[in-house]
Structure 1
Amino acid sequence: AGLGRAAADVLVVVTLAVWTVLGPLSTDDGFTEAIARNATGTATGDFGNVYRWGNASEAPYTLVIRLVRALAETGVGPLVLRVPSVLAGITVWLLLSRVALPAVLARHHRRAWVRGTLGVALLAWWLPLNLGVRPEPFAALATTAALCCALRAAARP
């Protein structure tokens, strides 16, 4: 049981780490970084889209831009800008494998093939859609956390 858990954890974390380096950059990576850098020094703290919509506000997507801004101000490259989404992916994996899976499949959650299937499914969905500076990784994290809270609440007598 412990070996299946550890193997699935290693599979997911190593795959996310490797894909962080090898995965392609998206057009949104540079786009969002430029919006974050352009907002440096603004008095309002709002982020305007300088490329479209006449510099209209990027709300409600400013959480990600704030993360990117904090990293971009340090002068780091695109690889480091992916770190928050990778950490979100690892956290989603831990929530799914440690909280959701035992709640949904109480009798089978320790089986290696069940954990492996969950890991492969998560990676198949995460890798093409959730690497970079878009808001989706954080929406996925928030949704997964809410799901886990609901499952824990439902399990209490």
Structure 2
Amino acid sequence: MIAAGAAVFIEPVPAGACTYGVAATAAGLEISRDSGRVAVFPGMPVPEVSVLTTAAEGLPQAGGLAVGLHTDDRYDSQPTGVKTALLLAHLLALSGTAVLAWRIWGRVRLLRTRPRWADAVVASVAASWVLLGPVQYDDAWDVLMSRNAWDSGYLGNYVYMFNVTENRFVLSQYLMQFWGGVGEFNLWWLRLLPLAYGLVTWVALRLLLATTLGRSASHRWVPWALAVAFLAWWLPYGMTLRPEPLILCLTAVTMLLAEVAAAARASRRPLRRRSSRRWP
């Protein structure tokens, strides 16, 4: 056996049936034969298996040679019953909240805004940034993870940690996995996702200003001031495959819905009656 570039264990295969075992743990490497320890190498890191070869003859044909490999699963885990119950309780609470909101407020209708030149400028600059924007530090990392997820069927930390399942920002990574499978796992195609997040964020912020400012939103400088603030964030940080653009997009939508609900409660009128109002 060769590990870490050096031969660590060599011996003739004994006559008759026998079983060799190689176990790599945090304590080191251990080799056993027929459940008996034959060699120990403390502190040796977990080996990476690149090839399996043998000089034994006749064994494969006789069905006497077999190999089973069990990869490092030190991070493997299963959700406990308490965690599963809490997740189901959160799902039921969210569903109940949505039902109550529908019964109290009815169908949500947002204020409409007239298109302005600021909208065209933001959309054009954001779209051009798909090809002109600099590559972020973690973009290659996210591309590798999404491409590996398409092949393996799950999101794993493909770059390091032995491809352990990655559960930090799974929504954005699942979307990248799907989008890359639909098209290609290259940078410009995957960047269409943060572009979409950015445009939805811009629309949500425009509607948010129209809801909170009222008639003051009709001033010509309001959309331009928002455009400057938006692009000041978007140009250095928005075009990235990290999860922050999606998080900010959902945050902007949540703020908009909260303001619409607060405005409807203050006026004590159903939201459907507010659809007749139209701000520039």
Shorter-chain-normalised TM-score: which range?
Answer: 0.7 to 0.9
Larger Rg: 2
Query: TM-score under structure 2 normalisation?
Result: 0.51
Counterpart code for 2:169: Y
**Structure with more of its chain in helix, by fraction:** 1
Percent identity of the aligned residues? Answer: 32
CA distance in 2, matches of 1:71, 1:27: 21
- Using the alignment, how far apart are the partners of 1:112 and 1:52 within structure 2? 51
Amino acid at match of 2:130: T
Segments of 5+ residues of structure 1 without an aligned counterpart are: none
Worse overlay, 52-61 or 110-119: 52-61
Letter in 1 for 2:202: W
Structure number with higher relative contact order (C-alpha < 8 Å, ≥ 6 residues apart): 1
* Residue among 79, 82, 96 paired with 2:205: 96
The match for 2:165 is 57
1:25 pairs, out of 135, 142, 150, with 135
4+ long deviations beyond 6 Å: none
Aligned alpha-carbon RMSD (Å): 1.8
Residue by residue over 1:73-126, the C-alpha shift from the partner in whole angstroms, topping out at 9 and shown as x without a partner, is: 3335311111111111111111111x2101221132122211100011011112
Q: Distance in 1 between matches of 2:184 and 2:215?
A: 49
Residue 14 of structure 1 pairs with residue 121 of structure 2: no
* Structure with greater strand percent: 2
2:184 corresponds to which residue? 75
Does the CA contact (< 8 Å) of 1:8 and 1:112 recur in 2?
no
How far apart, CA to CA, are the structure 1 residues paired with 2:150 and 2:126?
Answer: 30
2:195 is aligned with 1:86: yes
Residues 76 and 52 of structure 1: CA distance in aligned 2, closer, same or farther (over 3 Å): closer
Q: Could you state the TM-score of these two structures normalised by the residue count of structure 1?
A: 0.87
The reply to whether residue 37 of structure 1 matches residue 161 of structure 2 is no
Q: Distance in 1 between matches of 2:242 and 2:139?
A: 8
Provide the secondary structure at the position in 1 that maps to 2:173: helix
Number of residue pairs matched by the alignment: 152
For 2:141 and 2:196, locate their aligned partners in 1 and report how far apart those are by CA, in whole Å: 21
Q: Secondary structure at the match of 1:59?
A: coil
For the residues of structure 1 that align with 2:155 and 2:137, how far apart are their CA atoms? Answer: 18
Distance 1:100 1:71 in 2: 29
